[in-house]
């Protein structure tokens, strides 16, 4: 099984509860089987067989939601959306009628973990792929999952799907994603869950240095690698879109707000306004989850009313840089009705 996270702690270390008494370490995904075209791990790509379980609050899960939309996998791979607030049994389907996921028939994602491995002592995390016929968890390997959507699920892509992991650019995409993961995607968590000043500062410095470097990189190019959208953009976007709403205040990542950086703000708005990105974002779920679940760093559970989100829909002018968002492909169609983000979560 591939190790998905080079900086990983042992399985079972629960990332979002890792504040308070010990340094923040992100856990390695314990279930790392892959769903592939040839089914070599026992899980062949197939329409209507698997269910993607996500939280709209979670940046790692949001990667999968965006990639599924851009690639047009909605008809082949159904999606379950958890309550943004976990209880002591973790992610639950309390937004669904009778508190049960209508396809899997379960109340807690942990039931799929138990079906796969009885007595699994580790944390339950999203994103997760569950095998519908057996009810078993297949994978919670957030690093590999979207790469497999791009490269293994191709038979089920919509026509006009973009190539999000083009072979010619893979080395560069991997390099950019590794830096973004370490300093940005995970950097905000290391700052937010730091348990002493040194630990906080050692995340804060590299985070903002990396954001400065990314802003330089994006000054004259529309996307991170090549002239089309790739997996690298998806991974940076999921952190940027949460930046002012939660990371700036709740995680103390406050050298500047995203909206104060002209390049990164325009880049993030451009992606937000691209079909498949902003139409998956629920700011209500994001804010509820971070401010109410992480009681170690926000003991009152008060959810701030700001920031003003209307700026997300203002002009970004990034089209002046050129670029071909979908390469030789086309944008995805509208969001399926059942998956529309409610008005409460939109700018």
Q: Per CB under 6 A, which region of 13-21, 41-49, 158-166, 271-279 contacts ligand GSH?
A: 13-21
User: Catalytic: which of 189, 200, 267, 290?
Assistant: 189
Please, what is the minimum distance in Å from the beta carbon of residue 60 to ligand GSH?
4
Window 32-61: contact mask with ligand GSH (x via CB under 6 A): --------------------------x-x-
Pairing of strands 128-131, 78-81: unpaired
- Residue 223 annotated as catalytic: no
Of 71-130, which residues contact ligand GSH (CB under 6 A)?
A: 86, 90, 123-126
Please, what is the minimum distance in Å from the beta carbon of residue 195 to ligand GSH?
18
Indicate the residue among 126 and 266 with the shorter CB distance to ligand GSH.
126
Centre a 10 Å sphere on the Cβ of residue 5 and count the other Cβ atoms it contains: 16
User: Catalytic: which of 19, 50, 58, 267?
Assistant: 58
**Binding of ligand GSH by 62 (CB under 6 A):** no
Q: Which of 19, 24, 25, 29 binds ligand GSH (CB under 6 A)?
A: 29
Indicate the residue among 45 and 54 with the shorter CB distance to ligand GSH.
54
Q: Per CB under 6 A, which region of 22-30, 66-74, 234-242, 300-308 contacts ligand GSH?
A: 22-30
Q: Is 97 helix (H, G, I), strand (E, B) or coil?
A: helix
**Binding of ligand GSH by 142 (CB under 6 A):** yes
Indicate the residue among 58 and 341 with the shorter CB distance to ligand GSH.
58
Question: Do 99 and 80 meet the contact criterion of CB atoms below 8 Å apart?
Answer: no
- The verdict on whether omega for the bond into residue 74 sits within 30 degrees of 0, i.e. cis, is no
Question: Do 57 and 84 meet the contact criterion of CB atoms below 8 Å apart?
Answer: yes
Going by C-alpha positions, the residue among 162, 179, 274 that lies closest to residue 224 is 179
- Residue 253 annotated as catalytic: no
Q: Per CB under 6 A, which region of 9-17, 193-201, 271-279, 313-321 contacts ligand GSH?
A: 9-17
Q: Is 281 helix (H, G, I), strand (E, B) or coil?
A: coil
Pairing of strands 78-81, 50-54: parallel
For residues 277 and 206, what is the distance between their CA atoms, to the nearest angstrom? 26
Q: Which of 78, 139, 140, 239 binds ligand GSH (CB under 6 A)?
A: 140
Q: What tokens does 297 get?
A: 């760093």
Question: Do 29 and 141 meet the contact criterion of CB atoms below 8 Å apart?
Answer: yes
Q: Per CB under 6 A, which region of 10-18, 155-163, 255-263, 332-340 contacts ligand GSH?
A: 10-18
Integer-rounded Cα Rg, in Å, for the chain is: 19
Indicate the residue among 60 and 181 with the shorter CB distance to ligand GSH.
60
Q: Is 284 helix (H, G, I), strand (E, B) or coil?
A: helix
Indicate the residue among 90 and 136 with the shorter CB distance to ligand GSH.
90
Burial string for 214-230 (b: 16+ CB within 10 Å, else e) reads: bbeebeeebbbbbebbb
Going by C-alpha positions, the residue among 189, 253, 238, 201 that lies closest to residue 14 is 189
Binding positions for ligand GSH, rule: CB under 6 A: 14-16, 26-27, 29, 58, 60, 86, 90, 123-126, 140, 142
Catalytic residues: 58, 189
């Amino acid at each position: 099984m591939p190790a998905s996270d080079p900086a990983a702690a042992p399985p079972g270390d629960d990332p979002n509860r890792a504040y308070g008494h010990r340094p923040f370490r992100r856990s390695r995904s314990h279930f790392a089987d892959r769903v592939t075209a040839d089914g070599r791990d026992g899980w062949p790509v197939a329409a209507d067989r698997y269910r993607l379980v996500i939280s709209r609050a979670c940046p790692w899960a949001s990667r999968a939601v965006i990639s599924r939309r851009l690639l047009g996998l909605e008809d082949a791979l159904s999606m379950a959306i958890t309550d943004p607030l976990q209880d002591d049994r973790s992610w639950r389907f309390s937004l669904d009628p009778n508190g049960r996921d209508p396809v899997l028939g379960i109340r807690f994602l942990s039931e799929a973990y138990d079906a796969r491995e009885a007595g699994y002592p580790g944390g339950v995390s999203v994103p997760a792929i569950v095998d519908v016929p057996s009810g078993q968890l297949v994978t919670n390997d957030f690093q590999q999952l979207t790469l497999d959507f791009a490269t293994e699920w191709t038979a089920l892509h919509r026509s006009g799907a973009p190539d999000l992991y083009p072979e010619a650019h893979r080395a560069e995409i991997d390099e950019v994603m590794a830096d973004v993961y370490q300093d940005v995607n995970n950097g905000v968590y290391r700052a937010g869950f730091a348990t002493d000043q040194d630990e906080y500062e050692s995340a804060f410095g590299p985070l903002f240095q990396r954001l400065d470097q990314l802003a330089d990189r994006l000054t004259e190019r529309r996307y991170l690698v090549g002239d089309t959208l790739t997996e690298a953009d998806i991974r940076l976007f999921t952190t940027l879109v949460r930046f002012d709403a939660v990371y700036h205040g709740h995680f103390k990542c406050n050298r500047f707000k995203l909206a104060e950086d002209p390049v990164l703000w325009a880049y993030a708005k451009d992606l937000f306004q691209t079909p498949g990105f902003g139409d998956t974002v629920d700011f209500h779920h994001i804010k509820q989850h971070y401010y109410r679940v992480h009681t170690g760093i926000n003991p009152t559970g008060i959810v701030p009313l700001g920031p003003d989100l209307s700026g997300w829909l203002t002009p970004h002018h990034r089209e002046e840089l050129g670029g071909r968002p979908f390469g030789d492909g086309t944008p995805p169609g509208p969001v399926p009705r059942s998956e529309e983000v409610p008005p409460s979560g939109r700018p």
